[in-house]
Structure 1
C-alpha cells in the first residue's frame, strides 16, 4: 500500500506538526508539576524559586519527546508498520494522527522537524542545568545520556526494535521525575523515588495496551514487544502483573515507612481503575477502550501523587 492510498484530506501544516509531536498526549509532561510539588514537600513550603529551572526543563522535555515521536513515526512509516496498523481495515485510530501515513507531511518535513525539536530540547535542558542549584557531574552526564537515548528509541540504534520498548517507556517516566528533582535538591528521598516509579508505570500501562492492538504490525516488522512475542494469555498475565506491581509499590513504600500511612488509601482509586482497565481489555475484549482508560488513570494517579506532596507540605507547616 502506498502513502497515496491512505491520504485523507489536506490540513494546515501547523496542525499536522502538532499531530506529529503528539502534543495532545501530555502525560509525560505532568512530571513538572509533580516535581514542583515534591520539591515543595521537601522544603516544607511552596518553592516558586525553582520555577525558571523547571520551566526550562519542562519545555525541553516537550521538544525532546516531540523529536522522539517524530522519529518513531518516520521509522514506522519507512518499515511499513504504521501503514499496516493504520490501514483502511483498521479504522480504530484516525490516520491523521500519523501525518506521514495520512500524506499531510513528507519524510523530509518530518526529519527536519525532529532535528529542530531535538536541538531545541538539548538547548533548553542545558539552560535548565545552568539554572539548577545542584549540578553534580553524575547528574549532568545522566541528563546527557537521557537526551541521547531518547532519540534512539526507534531511530538510530532503535532500542524499541531490540526488546527494550517496555523498559524504555517506564524508565523515561522515572528519569523525567528524578532528573529535575535532583537538579533542585542534589538527590532524591525514598518517597520521591516511589513517586517516580509510579509515574513511570503510567505511560507503560497504556503503552502495553497499544502494543496489544498492534501485534500484527509489530510482528510483521520484527519489533519484539511482549505482546508480539508471547501468547494472548501470557500477555494478559503480564499486563495484570504490571497493574498489580503498581499497588505493590504503594504498599511496600507505606509498610517500609517511605510513605505516610495514608498513602495506600489515597492511591486506592488507581488500583480500582487498573482492575477495571484490565477487565475492559481482556475480559470484554475492548483493548482500545482500555488503552484510552490508561490515559485517564495515569492522570488521576499523578494528581493523587501531587496531592500526597501537598498534604506533606501541610503537615510540615
Structure 2
C-alpha cells in the first residue's frame, strides 16, 4: 500500500510540473540548429546548452506549480476543472484532484525554483560567451517566471498574454547568446515566431476559462473583452505571426522561409475556423499545440538546410 501511494505521489508531482507539455523546451532544439555548424558539437556549447535546458525545466516546473497553487486557492481551477466538464481532466491539477496538499506544492515550487536558478547560474558561468544583455534576459525571465501567478501575479495583472510569448522569445535568445555572444535578424525572427506558438494556444485556453477567470479577477484579454473583441485579438495575433513569417526574408531569414512555414500558415487558418466558425475552443487549443510543434519542425529543417 505504501509503495502504491509513493508511486501515485510521484505521478502527481510529474503532473504538477506539466512535464508532458514540452513546447517551451523545443526552443533549445531550435537554438542548436541555428548555431554555426562548427559550434553544434562543441563541448563547451553543448554543456552550457544542457545546463540551460535543465534549468529551464526546473524554472517552468516552479512557475506552473505556483500557478496551480494560486488557481486552487482563489477557486479558478476548481471552477475551470469542474467534475461535470468532460473535456478538462482534473487529474492534471493535483490540488483539485486531491493528490497533493498545498504544503507539498509550495515546497515543490521552492525546491525546483532554487535548482533552476542554480542551473542557470551554472550555464552563465560555463558559457563560451556571457554578454550583459544575455545575462539580463535570463535574470528577468527567472524573476518574472516565479512571479507569473505568485507575488506580483503577472498573469492576474493583465500581462499574461505578453509573458507567454516573451518566455518563448527569451528561451531562444538567451541560450543562443550564451553560445555565440550575438544575435542577428534571422535569430530574432525565429525567436519571435517560436514564442508566438505557446501564446496561440494559451489564448484559446483563456477563452475557455473566461468565466472562472472573471470570478477571481484574473485580467486576461478574454476576461476583459467582449467575445468579439477577444476574437479580434486572437485574429490580430495570428496575423502578426503570418507577417513575421512572410516578411522573414526581409529581416534576415532565407528567401524560402515563408514556403517552409506554409503548413503553419494554413493550420492557423484552420485553428481560427475551428474556434470561431465551429465554436470548439478546446479543440482549437489542442490544434494550437500541434501547430506549434509543426512550426518547430519547420524551423529545424530550415536551419539544417
Q: Which of these residues, 260, 272, 278, is aligned with residue 266 of structure 1?
A: 260
Compute the displacement of 1:235 (Å). Answer: 1.1
* SS at 1:224 equivalent: coil
Q: Which of these residues, 2, 13, 17, is aligned with residue 13 of structure 2?
A: 17
Q: Separation in 1 of the partners of 2:42 and 2:242?
A: 32
Q: Separation in 2 of the partners of 1:77 and 1:18?
A: 18
Query: Would you say how many aligned residue pairs link Structure 1 and Structure 2?
Result: 300
Corresponding residue of 1:61 = 56
Compute the displacement of 1:141 (Å). Answer: 2.9
Corresponding residue of 1:4 = none
Q: Separation in 1 of the partners of 2:91 and 2:27?
A: 27
Corresponding residue of 1:122 = 117
Q: Separation in 2 of the partners of 1:275 and 1:48?
A: 40
Compute the displacement of 1:253 (Å). Answer: 1.9
Corresponding residue of 2:277 = 283
Cα distance change, pair 10–225 in 1 and its aligned pair in 2 (3 A): farther
Corresponding residue of 2:242 = 247
Compute the displacement of 1:145 (Å). Answer: 1.9
Cα distance change, pair 257–169 in 1 and its aligned pair in 2 (3 A): closer
Q: Separation in 2 of the partners of 1:296 and 1:228?
A: 25
Q: Which of these residues, 23, 28, 32, is aligned with residue 32 of structure 1?
A: 28
Compute the displacement of 1:142 (Å). Answer: 2.6
Q: Separation in 1 of the partners of 2:194 and 2:243?
A: 14
**How does the TM-score come out when normalised to structure 1?**
0.92
- Counterpart contact for 2:83–2:90, Cα < 8 Å: no
Q: Which of these residues, 168, 171, 190, is aligned with residue 176 of structure 1?
A: 171
Q: Separation in 1 of the partners of 2:140 and 2:192?
A: 19
Pair 1:138 & 2:133 matched = yes
Compute the displacement of 1:11 (Å). Answer: 6.7
Give 1:1-317 correspondences, 5 Å limit.
12-39=8-35, 42-43=36-37, 46-49=40-43, 50-254=45-249, 256-311=250-305
Q: Separation in 2 of the partners of 1:45 and 1:119?
A: 30
Q: Separation in 2 of the partners of 1:208 and 1:186?
A: 33
| Consecutive unaligned residues in structure 2, runs of 5 or more | none
Q: Flag the structure with more relative contact order, 1 or 2, with Cα contacts below 8 A and sequence separation at least 6.
A: 1
**How does the TM-score come out when normalised to structure 2?**
0.95
Corresponding residue of 1:6 = none
Two-structure CA RMSD over aligned residues (Å): 1.5
| CA deviation map 1:261-303 (0-9, x unaligned) | 1111110110000000110011111110110011110001011
- Counterpart contact for 1:36–1:47, Cα < 8 Å: no
